[in-house]
Amino acid sequence: MRVIMVKGFSKTGKTTTVTQIIKELRRRGYSVGTVKDIHYEKFAMDHPGTDTYKHTQAGAQRVTALGEKETDILLSRRMDIDAVLKYYKEDFVILEGDSGADCPAILTGATEEDLAKRMTDQVIAVSGIISGKLDHYGRLPVINCLEEVEKMADLIEKATEEQKQEADVILTIDGVEIPMVPFVKNTLKNVVIGAVKALDGYEEGKEIAIRVKG
């Protein structure tokens, strides 16, 4: 899983940048997830009158709406971004807004002052409203995602390359190692990670060991 952030002040083009990147990554065959950081005190996803809202009002701390075409898990508190990411398994996750994740970032702005205020070492490119006015900002490319999103997607693929990790899988049964072809290894790895990733303590890259008395 590869994670990238799109950050910047309000109304500087964050959502447009994110949606353009989503479309291009999907066009390239990747699965894509996103996280939108919402700093609006009164934000609420559900609304009075629904059964799920009644569950929350009655005191349920986690409520899922299991629909025919969607599944919505609603938790009655703000989660830490790292905990949120444990629920993901898409090829790419794009974070809209600065949720504190440690990953490469694209910075949007309307003016050079905006950019200066939010610049960090993690920023790999500039985009948003200012991208019609500048070609470069310092050493960073300024990319207009409405016109040249391919260039941005290339940059994202390159900047997140190291987040891809090749993994080893070893299976023993009563102490005897069982040989597996790569496809089976990958499947088993995905099954194990899928089964444990929602647990506290799991982090991408850590070694997982399971013992089961079958």
CA-to-CA distance for 137 and 112, rounded, in angstroms? 8
The distance of closest approach from Cβ of residue 138 to a copy of itself in the complex, given in angstroms and rounded to an integer, is 28
CA-to-CA distance for 13 and 11, rounded, in angstroms? 6
CA-to-CA distance for 100 and 78, rounded, in angstroms? 13
| Residue with the two structure tokens 């629904």 | 50
Identify the DSSP state of 79: P
CA-to-CA distance for 15 and 36, rounded, in angstroms? 9
Q: Residue 64: helix, strand or coil by DSSP?
A: strand
Q: Note whether 122 and 101 are within 8 A (CB).
A: no
The one-letter amino acid code at 95 reads: L
The distance of closest approach from Cβ of residue 67 to a copy of itself in the complex, given in angstroms and rounded to an integer, is 4
The one-letter amino acid code at 58 reads: A
Q: Note whether 74 and 134 are within 8 A (CB).
A: no
